[in-house]
Structure 1
Amino acid sequence: MVNHCGLLSARKEPVPLKSVEVEVEVRDHVATVVSTLYYENKEDKPLEAVFVFPLPGDAAVCHFSATLGQTQIIAEVKEKQEAREDYDDALSSGLEAFLLEESEQSPDIFSLSVGSLQPGESASIRLEYVTELNVQADSGLRFCLPAVLNPRYQPQDSASGNVQVTSCPASLVPYTLSFSAQVSSPRPVSKIESNCSLDPLQYLNSEQTKATIKLAAGHKFDRDVELLIYYKDAHQPTAVVEAGQASAELGTLMGDPVVMLSLYPEFPQAVMSSVATCGEFVCLLDRSGSMGAAMNHSNRNETRISSARDTLLLLLKSLPMGSYFNIYSFGSSFESIFPKSVEYNQETMEKALKKVEEMQANLGGTEILKPLKHIYSQPCIPSQPRQLFVFTDGEVWNTKEIIDLVKRNSHAHRCFSFGIGEGASSALINGLAKEGGGHAQFILGSDRMQPKVMQSLRYALHPAVVNISVTWDLPKDVSATVLSPPITSLFQGQRSLIYAGLTGQISEAAEGCVTVKYSLAGHPSQNQLRFNLKPTEDSGLTVHRLAARALIRCLEMEDREPRQQQDDSVKKKVVELSVQSGVSSAFTAFIAVNKGNGKAIQGPLERRNVPAPSEYFIDTLIKNMAANIIEKSRALRFRKTKKKKTKSFKPSLFSWKGKKQKVVQSDVPETSPLPTMDPLLHLVSLQKASGCWDLSPALATALGKTSEELKKPKPASVNMEIWATVLSLIWLHGFKMDVREEWELLAMKAVSWLRAQNSSDLNECVDAGNALLGCNVTKDSLGF
């Protein structure tokens, strides 16, 4: 169950966390993040503060320390139960202690316990982690500082044991945030963008390879802080060889050099310009109550669920004829439009769109495991590769169990995941895509969901890369031990990382070569990267810690497999590696005890839960409930309007029941204004499954003309559908090139349909269409 708490404790006393200071150092595509949390106990009794907060799911936490007055205590990594016992023993002895541990359910949630803080005493907690930056569809590198921690939904009948998330409205968080980042790369930094207000970018050298950026004054700490970093020539493969730790033994991960290879595969243009004409496309849409929240702070009218509905419209219109599809939605229960995937055609597309238009954020909690199990229980369709698209705001509690399920079924599908809104679990969204051989996208702030989803659909429509192998060519006395999981998917323009430990005698001029071989569309291909083996000395063990994190995550996944349930050997390996590298894991924790002054603290210990900022809180829930009522009325009137024009269709909705929240309904006066449909979506909604358009009054409205104006210039020898389709394509190219990525696939389908008509009058159509619409679009640019 979700546990909400406000700004004050039950005794109306303030929480002790005062401020958070974050400094980020980005080197190429790796970030080192140092967070300092300042606590102060203004009460007259000893205090224990508990702060539950988010971190990136793939972060390697590598340092934890506390400073009290002039005394600094550096935490050590211990087996989790041993660390907890040390913490409890310290508190029972009246000593000050600090405990940092990862949630057992999700690797992107940590809890920090500050124990026995004396009356009037201040403490600063320093937390350091390193993380890889993910490549976005537009080649930007994404860094996200999770500031918002939404409550993770837990079903009533599930086992307890997860951390209790306390939260309050983001605007009332009682602590402040300061944030700065320094960026450096071998290539110039072209720009840095953010969902938050930034001070101007400052370059630190004339080559523009170093820059610094800060949050503008007055940041409210009411959203995740996202940076998009753009380098010139970003898709260059790189290799970093890092020297081992001087104090560590040779033959261990920390003692030997480690190489990090960053590869960007290049695929033949002939393959990339074609798209598949088959596939089973399964969409899984979150309809929990939190999906009724606004997409961003500036536009409260666009909710997460409404944006998802618009996106499904574009996605459905872009599917190839002859493919198969189905749409599931989930909350506390789950539903599907069809009992099993059906062939994509005009009839099934119309049925699906009618049900999508009715979808609301009214299915209660966020239980994604059951619908996933049901989807995987459905037999795959021969010669139709399964592609799963998951849309969720990620407020789930059993992240590891979900990712394990996806991994067990990775041989039968590719999974593309989309994290919607502030606070979406990065561990869930990235984990789904990584283990499902797909691609992850995050939609924050003013981001539009549609282009990101269509980018992933393009990946899904390209042939899958199979038979991936990695071979090493190293000097005679040097060997490599791969520390990262095997590469399971490759996409054009997307980065693949390989970590490996190096052993043997490495000379100054020694070189190595890595070759990635794979098969694409039946043709064998390969990419190579040659690199110098000489280690760098000043990288601060960042590469070693990321490599340790990659290996720890592999072992943790292995430990959760059924055959390992009675075997503790994997857990022992994880604990040993975590302690050796100083990197956190699911089985270890950071513990620091202040034994300096030897004075025990007197008096009973008070516990304070520090609230994390949450987008989805009670006042938001009330507003969204009203918005859902209006949207429900809009959907009802949409169906009434459709009944007057088309044959009514009432498909049965196949539903698997679980615990469902009560839905509040209310009548809305017929005079309530309806939202105006976006012109692009209006035009797209009129396209047929085959790719063509009808010359209808609705199309005339979408193009800003009357029916007569549309019909009059039509060439006499051209039929209505060809003319309507040419006009629609001209309008798209003439007025919507700024969002081309959203309609490019459905336009390609329209062009394929036109080619199949073998019309000899397309030139005449294009000239007449340009004159009618006031455009200057060439036949070549249309793709004819």
Structure 2
Amino acid sequence: RAFERTQAEERYEKALEEGDSPMMLEVNEYEGLCTANLGNLMPGEELVLEISLAWMADWDNGTVRIAIPTVIADRYDPDGSQGGLLPHQRVESSFLAEYPCSARFDLSGILAFGSVSCPGRTVRVTHQPGRTIVDVPCGYADRDLALVVSEVRQTPPSLFARDGGEWIICPSFTPQPDPQPEPAALGLKVLVDCSGSMEGASIAQAKKAIAALRTLLNPEDTVTLSCFGSTVEHRIKTPRACTPAFWRRSWLVAVEQIEADLGGTELMSALEDVIRLKTSEGRNRDILLITDGEVWQAEELVSKLGKAGHRIFALGVGLSPAEQNLRHLAQATGGDCAFALPGEQMSGIVAAFIGKMRRQPITGVRVAPLPASRPDLAIETGENAFAGQAYRVFSALPEKPTETPVIRGTLAGRELTVQAAPWKEATGPELAALAAWNRYQSEDDEQTRVELACRYSLLTDRTNLILVKERAEGEKAQQAPEFERIAQMTPMNLVRMSSDMVCEDVCCGAPCMNAMRMDAPLACEIEPSSEETPLRILSKIAAAAVFCRQLADLGAKLDTSLSQPEQEVLWRILGEFPELDTDEKRLACLILLIPRLELDNDELRDKALKALRGIDSLESGDLIAALSSVIV
């Protein structure tokens, strides 16, 4: 059940004191992060946590994308506050953590007849009458899971469902392009995230996206190109007409020079700087932002830029982009957002963005009054309605709806009416809860908001969900529980290293990480023809260094600080070899530790090297024994 936040926390603490086992779920709305709190888990007990979610899937020109985040990527955090999260809410990653992850999607209705893909993962698809089953075999919770259903030929229906003594209605409509379009000339400003977190697949995606603009912009359009990290670099500062000569002589050259080498992610100052750039007269002022969105305190960003006069079209890239940050930013500025995992087509997403930029959206979308409808539930979406995208609004009726509602809005200063999709009855409580959530978002009265959230069990910034397992007298906890924060897996980083990335002085920006210091710089000669190259050996050795902080027995003996450049080097190298298991990483750790501890043990060193070259030749017991000999 949902309770007002203070009441929920009091119930949680009381259950702890009484020896029962409470479970509480809370959310930081602006950061989009949930925290599950569990108390008094007894020795030998296992927790199975089941959370039911409901949301309206986005339907955009025949494509539905269902994204399930499984990990939180490292976010730029200059002051170390993680956006003001409380200590027990803070995100912690561990290289020792391994969480298997599998999924099953049961698609019915209009989704059952679409084409299915799952970027970066292998799936098994089973077609049954009226439904499609998509199984994602066991992987790991180290990157987002996205299911893309394309070629969905029908638009979503309008929904209704009984809620006590009334009927909740959710009309759906899909605006169509103007039959006689007059595409506006664009004054496009492109802003690319070149911070350290974009290294690898993310920056490659960004370069593909902006290279695709060559076929989408006309000579009447103008464009600028800026890159940002800790600072902003304007690669093309003055608006340039998109002529063939410009693409050939300037644009492609500038794109080729883009690298993820600009340090941190100062997104706020970068956007403010780009907004101040000159815009060609008579053209729409739009920003194409390509980033992983990995920043804290996004609410400040949204509040400052919401009235800046520029629409932001945000393209989130990488294995776990901060979706909520980018979605809020796009909606607040009247733009749009999209997301792409490595391997997804970038040109199609960018083409859809350019199409939306050229046409004015429908604003002030609302349901036209129906007979006896409740005016307090006639809610505007607060979003701009772009052609080809499905939009939904909520209201309520005292009786079951019969006539199809009409959607009203404003397009280019004139009133517009659109017929909604045909009705379909929804089963279950989800539609009523979604309607309550929409009303919660627009409600000004504080008490009404809390009452809504509690009635419909909504997880909000003012309410927590709580469940208490009451234990029998002989089973109650007899002492106060010890606090432990469960670390997530380290986010997977798909980096493809080449020979020019390993040299005597390797340095760049860094994510947050703790590991041991390496006194000597990394150096390696590359032998591409060798099956087990020195680069691979070096990668395994360096990958192990980040484990040193996790080994508690070593933490008291070694200087575990690591410089920023060293952190980034190890991060990038580790990402190259996700197939290494824990024993392999510990063995690599030995190779690094032996010379540091000045242990004269050539036999052990040879054994570790042998294991790295052919892990199958050693048993797990040998590996543990080797590790123990170094620790002791």
Q: Tell me the TM-score normalised to structure 1 length.
A: 0.59
Give the 3-state SS of the residue equivalent to 1:133 in structure 2.
coil
Residue in 2 that maps onto 1:65: none
Q: Distance in 1 between matches of 2:402 and 2:83?
A: 54
Residue in 2 that maps onto 1:374: 273
1:215 to 108, 131, 136: 136
Residue in 2 that maps onto 1:282: 189
Give the 3-state SS of the residue equivalent to 1:102 in structure 2.
strand
Contact preservation (8 Å) 1:151, 1:166: no
Residue in 1 that maps onto 2:231: 333
How far did residue 238 of structure 1 move? 2.2
1:283-312 CA distance string (max 9 Å, x none): 12111112113xxxxxxxxx3213312322
- CA distance 1:345–1:445, shift in 2 (3 Å): closer
- CA distance 1:616–1:202, shift in 2 (3 Å): closer
Q: Distance in 1 between matches of 2:276 and 2:224?
A: 14
Is it true that 1:240 corresponds to 2:159 in the alignment? Answer: yes
Give the 3-state SS of the residue equivalent to 2:53 in structure 1.
strand
- CA distance 1:80–1:284, shift in 2 (3 Å): farther
Contact preservation (8 Å) 1:472, 1:512: no
How far did residue 585 of structure 1 move? 0.8
Residue in 1 that maps onto 2:65: 142
Residue in 2 that maps onto 1:528: 419
Residue in 1 that maps onto 2:535: none
Contact preservation (8 Å) 2:21, 2:471: no
1:399 to 294, 298, 306: 298
1:590-739 matched pairs, under 5 angstroms: 590-598=465-473, 600-603=476-479, 605-616=481-492
Residue in 1 that maps onto 2:458: 583
1:752-782 CA distance string (max 9 Å, x none): xxxxxxxxxxxxxxxxxxxxxxxxxxxxxxx
1:430 to 327, 341, 356: 327
How far did residue 103 of structure 1 move? 2.1
Contact preservation (8 Å) 2:238, 2:278: no
Contact preservation (8 Å) 1:130, 1:542: yes
Contact preservation (8 Å) 2:366, 2:380: no
- CA distance 1:160–1:420, shift in 2 (3 Å): closer
- CA distance 1:124–1:481, shift in 2 (3 Å): same
Contact preservation (8 Å) 2:162, 2:168: yes
2:351 to 454, 462, 481: 454
Give the 3-state SS of the residue equivalent to 1:113 in structure 2.
strand
Contact preservation (8 Å) 1:467, 1:518: yes
The code of the aligned residue for 1:153 comes to Y
Contact preservation (8 Å) 2:362, 2:386: no
Contact preservation (8 Å) 2:94, 2:488: yes
- CA distance 1:308–1:395, shift in 2 (3 Å): same
- CA distance 1:355–1:611, shift in 2 (3 Å): same
1:320-343 CA distance string (max 9 Å, x none): 224333222222333323556455
- CA distance 1:669–1:257, shift in 2 (3 Å): same
Give the 3-state SS of the residue equivalent to 2:454 in structure 1.
helix
Contact preservation (8 Å) 1:281, 1:326: yes
- CA distance 1:360–1:220, shift in 2 (3 Å): same
The code of the aligned residue for 1:106 comes to E
The code of the aligned residue for 1:144 comes to A
Residue in 2 that maps onto 1:182: 106
How far did residue 112 of structure 1 move? 0.8
1:240-639 matched pairs, under 5 angstroms: 240-244=159-163, 246=164, 256-271=166-181, 275-276=183-184, 278-293=185-200, 303-316=201-214, 318-338=216-236, 341=239, 344=242, 350-377=249-276, 381-409=280-308, 412-460=309-357, 462-465=358-361, 468-470=364-366, 472-475=368-371, 477-482=372-377, 484-486=379-381, 488-502=383-397, 504=398, 506=399, 510-519=402-411, 526-529=417-420, 536=425, 539-555=427-443, 570-598=445-473, 600-603=476-479, 605-616=481-492
- CA distance 1:380–1:466, shift in 2 (3 Å): farther
Q: Distance in 2 between matches of 1:105 and 1:628?
A: 37
- CA distance 1:213–1:668, shift in 2 (3 Å): closer
How far did residue 377 of structure 1 move? 4.8
Q: Distance in 1 between matches of 2:439 and 2:500?
A: 46
How far did residue 260 of structure 1 move? 1.0
Contact preservation (8 Å) 2:97, 2:490: no
Residue in 2 that maps onto 1:684: none
Q: Distance in 1 between matches of 2:463 and 2:144?
A: 27
Q: Distance in 2 between matches of 1:581 and 1:136?
A: 29
The code of the aligned residue for 1:434 comes to Q
Residue in 2 that maps onto 1:638: none
CA RMSD of aligned residues (A): 3.7
How far did residue 407 of structure 1 move? 2.9
Q: Distance in 1 between matches of 2:488 and 2:343?
A: 23
Contact preservation (8 Å) 2:66, 2:148: yes
Residue in 2 that maps onto 1:156: 79
How far did residue 425 of structure 1 move? 1.6
Q: Distance in 1 between matches of 2:500 and 2:455?
A: 53
- CA distance 1:156–1:121, shift in 2 (3 Å): same
- CA distance 1:570–1:330, shift in 2 (3 Å): farther
- CA distance 1:166–1:179, shift in 2 (3 Å): same
The code of the aligned residue for 1:334 comes to V
How far did residue 176 of structure 1 move? 2.7
Q: Distance in 1 between matches of 2:417 and 2:374?
A: 22
Give the 3-state SS of the residue equivalent to 1:615 in structure 2.
coil
How far did residue 100 of structure 1 move? 0.9
1:167 to 93, 97, 102: 93
Is it true that 1:117 corresponds to 2:41 in the alignment? Answer: yes
1:462-492 CA distance string (max 9 Å, x none): 32135555452523x3445445443542322
Q: Distance in 2 between matches of 1:380 and 1:424?
A: 29
Q: Distance in 1 between matches of 2:15 and 2:500?
A: 51
How far did residue 316 of structure 1 move? 4.7
- CA distance 1:88–1:334, shift in 2 (3 Å): farther
- Residue-pair matches, total: 513
Q: Distance in 1 between matches of 2:59 and 2:421?
A: 22
How far did residue 373 of structure 1 move? 2.9
Q: Distance in 2 between matches of 1:197 and 1:433?
A: 31
The code of the aligned residue for 1:464 comes to Q
How far did residue 128 of structure 1 move? 0.9
- CA distance 1:373–1:83, shift in 2 (3 Å): farther
Contact preservation (8 Å) 1:286, 1:391: yes
Contact preservation (8 Å) 2:24, 2:36: yes
How far did residue 214 of structure 1 move? 2.0
Structure 1 vs Structure 2: percent identity of aligned residues?
20
How far did residue 597 of structure 1 move? 1.9
How far did residue 501 of structure 1 move? 2.5
Residue in 1 that maps onto 2:603: none
1:684-705 CA distance string (max 9 Å, x none): xxxxxxxxxxxxxxxxxxxxxx
Larger displacement relative to structure 2 (332-341 or 122-131)? 332-341
Q: Distance in 1 between matches of 2:141 and 2:80?
A: 34
Give the 3-state SS of the residue equivalent to 1:374 in structure 2.
helix
Q: Distance in 2 between matches of 1:393 and 1:627?
A: 25
Q: Distance in 1 between matches of 2:466 and 2:421?
A: 42
Is it true that 1:126 corresponds to 2:1 in the alignment? Answer: no
How far did residue 424 of structure 1 move? 0.8
How far did residue 379 of structure 1 move? 6.9
Q: Distance in 2 between matches of 1:332 and 1:306?
A: 20
Q: Distance in 2 between matches of 1:627 and 1:545?
A: 55
Contact preservation (8 Å) 1:511, 1:530: no
How far did residue 264 of structure 1 move? 0.9
The code of the aligned residue for 1:329 comes to C
